Amino acid sequence: MAEAVKIYDGAINKGLEGVVACTTSISSIVDTTLCYRGYTIEDIAANSNFEEVCWLLWNGQLPNKSELEGFKKNLKNAMHLPADLVEQLAKLPTNTHPMAWLRTATSMMGMWDKETEDNSEEANRHKSLRLTARMGMLVALFKRVREGKSFVQPNPDKSIAWNFLYMLNGIEPDSEMVDIFDTCLILHADHELNCSAFSARVTASSLSDIYSAVVSAIGALKGPLHGGANEQVILMLQEIGGMDKVDSWLTDALAEKKKIMGFGHRVYKNGDPRAKILSQMSERLTKKMGHPEYYQMSKYLDDKMQADKGLLPNVDFYSASVYFSMGIPTDIFTPIFAVSRVSGWCAHILEQYSNNRIYRPRGEWVGPTGLKYKPIDAR
């Protein structure tokens, strides 16, 4: 066998670790500080709301009163799924993972959008609005169809957070739950060049349409090393089963070299600021809803992972017990991530289109070379 021909003599950054693939001004991570458009996540989470964050991510600055009012009105008007689309979506199988359903449903939504093939900035902003207004409607529709219940129409006078909980359960949500959920939406809205945003940008870089880019992102988010981790965290806590078993469970899991879901991060090495906010929410909510052991087990794992492995929790770790306490089914946790992150994906897609060059890296060839084709009878 001939020697492999080297096309590149530098180091290969497996998983593109440390590679800067583009410039961005949407969100930034420096050590433990996450900023959206220059504002810290702590500041935004304490003072803003998800609708305002969408505006911020798409426009680069906070809206004034009339801009926010106009934007909220447009979002509300966009909270509408065509009846014939709902009819088709209701026929999709629901015995799949909801992320698989959501990926298909988002793709179908693109087929119903008259502006899908219009790649002008104006049309892409309209579509960003529709995608963000409707992602939660799709997730709620999935849950309702799976339960054999009818679709709950949103209340256009209410926020995305309020409506998501309302459409999911068919009853008006409690205002504390809405506030907590709105904060969760803010915390998950964007995160620099994460795997799903990068997938969206790669697809957009071929000048494909925004729906195709968002569908790529949903596919990337689904994986357990990315958004799928929040679902795995609650399954892990349920497998552990109680405070009396948590220590031995963790010892065995680490001895078996298992990855502990919700820990570690490619970029944050000194802690994820979103996990700190979510940890406080988890402590409060698990106590209020009568299952404090979910927080206690989480806290134990957090302390022990930090002490023994130097690994800290990421955004998915405490969000799991928060969503669990809100009574949300486990397999809907990752779709919730998409309900929020679609705002960040759209911001990244708009940014990519505005300063585009197709992503086309190289792969270092390590297979055989110089082979000669053999007719099938001679093999």
The residue ranges that bind ligand COA (CB under 6 A) are: 15, 225-226, 229, 259-266, 311, 314-316
CB closer to ligand COA, 79 vs 261 = 261
Token pair in block for residue 159: 């926020």
CB of 335 to ligand COA, least distance (A): 16
Q: Please check whether residue 160 is in contact with residue 133, taking contact to mean a CB–CB distance below 8 angstroms.
A: yes
Token pair in block for residue 13: 């950054």
CB of 302 to ligand COA, least distance (A): 12
CB closer to ligand COA, 44 vs 311 = 311
The DSSP line for 293-337 is HHHHHHHHHHHHHHHHH---B-HHHHHHHHHHHTT--GGGHHHHH
- Radius of gyration for the chain, computed over Cα atoms and rounded to the nearest angstrom: 22
Token pair in block for residue 178: 């809405």
Considering the candidates 209, 272, 316, 331, report the single residue annotated as catalytic: 316
CB of 126 to ligand COA, least distance (A): 31
Residue number of the CB atom closest to ligand COA: 264
CB closer to ligand COA, 126 vs 299 = 299
* Nearest alpha carbon to residue 265 among 314, 317, 332: 314
- Residue 144's H or E segment, with its range, is helix 121-146
Considering the candidates 80, 97, 118, 265, report the single residue annotated as catalytic: 265
Count how many residues are written for the chain: 379
CA-to-CA distance for 372 and 182, rounded, in angstroms? Answer: 61
Asked about 191 being catalytic, the answer comes back as no
Asked about 265 being catalytic, the answer comes back as yes
CB closer to ligand COA, 51 vs 316 = 316
CB of 89 to ligand COA, least distance (A): 29
* Nearest alpha carbon to residue 50 among 181, 138, 226, 156: 181
CA-to-CA distance for 327 and 177, rounded, in angstroms? Answer: 10
CB closer to ligand COA, 185 vs 311 = 311
Active site residues per annotation? 265, 316
